[in-house]
Amino acid sequence: MKITDLKCAVMGGYPIVRITTDEGIEGIGQAECSKPYLKPHVLFYKKYILGEDPTDVERVMLKIRRLGSFKPWGAAVSAIEFALWDIAGKAAGVPVYKLLGGKVRDQVRVYNGGVRFKMEGLEPEHFADNIAKMMARPEGFSIIKQGIAFHSWMPHGVPDFFYGTPQEGPPHPNRGLLTERGLKHIIACVEAMKAVTGDKIGLALDCGPGFTVPDAIRLAKAMEPYNLMWLEDMLTGDYTPYVMADLYREVTRSTSTPIHTGEQIYLRQNFRELIEKKAVNVIGPDPADIGGIAELKWVAEYADMHGVLMAPHGTIDGVIGLAAHVHAAAAMPHNYIALEYPYTSDEWWYDIVEGLPTPIVKNSMIDVAAFNRPGLGVKFDVDKALKHLEPEDADFFD
């Protein structure tokens, strides 16, 4: 079998990858909807993979993997990898998780980081109300993550929140030392949310990036009575092209509150220090950024040997990304906690992609059996999908 073409179309903001072969088997992949600019990056790799056997996934990936980088520049490589596994599974007549060693679990737990309601303000009562709405969702989420501090509008909307000038621009641009008022405001918001959640669900906090080490330690210690699931991306995180494992280790060793990072990190090599130094308690690689499904599985196994837990990121990975997540999570070791549920508010996605269960999530779980078809287990209803293509992508399904 040989690869005959690599195409990319942007649908609803999501870059969609389609790889075709000389035997009529094709594979699909997807990157986050925040990255419509990736189309030329995907097509950059076309010359390297044409003529290759897509079922030799690792061999193909060795040709392109080193040509990616930290989020967002590893997403094109990751989406191609999804499509390769889709083809490999179809060619073998088995779901992708079988090619990863088989499933460890029949259901995979998800947590909520993307099913959102508009925040009506930044006071504690607004956070309490918002978390109550998420708890009432039909998915029955057992873990909910809320953005606070530098991963929220607090630097702009809370007076004298930190010793710095609030910045505009790329995602999460603010960084600096918190004022006493700012730290107390965060704590009050967490207290209000915990008053709603009690011990019924786990509460995780997406915090940055942007914290200084002293503030990260202060907040983590203040959170110890609340039994949080984790504090995420305090020092580095979204779109930060480095890791800073030594600084994370300083924070982690200072508190019993679990510390989490990793969504922006590309490739196993860049997780090595975090894992070997036990710099964090939980890592959250995103299969759509780390380099794909196999890369995520490898990091999960290595983390497990070092006592580090897994809670993969994935909030806007889309419904094809959801399928990739389920296959990877099904085959992960027992350090797996939950994946961040990839959710899209554009309902038409659930109409143009076939193979998704209804409902997708029940009691915070997804049945792996729903994706038991060969490959990723999902495919486009081409007739329905055509109307969502841009004119320049009209030949995407040809």
Q: What is the rounded distance in angstroms from the CA atom of residue 57 to the CA atom of residue 375? A: 13
- Select 3-94+380-388's CATH number: 3.40.50.1970, 3.40.50.300, 3.30.390.10, 3.40.630.30: 3.30.390.10
Q: Could you tell me what percent of the chain has a pLDDT over 70? A: 100
Indicate if the pLDDT at residue 184 is higher than 90.
yes
Indicate if the pLDDT at residue 387 is higher than 90.
yes
- The bridge status of strand 282-283 relative to strand 309-310 is parallel
Indicate if the pLDDT at residue 169 is higher than 90.
no
| Structure-model confidence comparison of residues 170 and 115, the more confident one | 115
Indicate if the pLDDT at residue 15 is higher than 90.
yes
Indicate if the pLDDT at residue 375 is higher than 90.
yes
Indicate if the pLDDT at residue 51 is higher than 90.
yes
- Average confidence (pLDDT) over 8-37: 98
Question: What pLDDT, in 10s, does the model give residues 256-284?
Answer: 999 999 999 999 999 999 999 999 999 99
pTM value is 0.97
SS3 193: helix
CATH class given for the domain over 98-375: alpha beta
Question: What pLDDT, in 10s, does the model give residues 294-334?
Answer: 999 999 999 999 999 999 999 999 999 999 999 999 999 99
Q: Per-residue confidence at 61, pLDDT binned at 50, 70, 90?
A: very high
Helix (H) or strand (E) holding 103: none
With CA atoms as reference, report the closest residue to 339 among 376, 293, 307, 372: 293
Q: What is the rounded distance in angstroms from the CA atom of residue 365 to the CA atom of residue 219? A: 31
- Average confidence (pLDDT) over 36-64: 98
- Average confidence (pLDDT) over 32-36: 96
Indicate if the pLDDT at residue 253 is higher than 90.
yes
SS3 333: coil
Provide the mean pLDDT of the chain.
Answer: 97
Domain ranges of the chain: 3-94+380-388, 98-375
Which tokens belong to 267?
């490739």
Q: What is the rounded distance in angstroms from the CA atom of residue 254 to the CA atom of residue 170? A: 31
CA 91 and chain centroid, separation: 28
Indicate if the pLDDT at residue 170 is higher than 90.
no
Q: Per-residue confidence at 60, pLDDT binned at 50, 70, 90?
A: very high
Question: What pLDDT, in 10s, does the model give residues 333-366?
Answer: 999 999 999 999 899 999 999 999 999 999 999 9
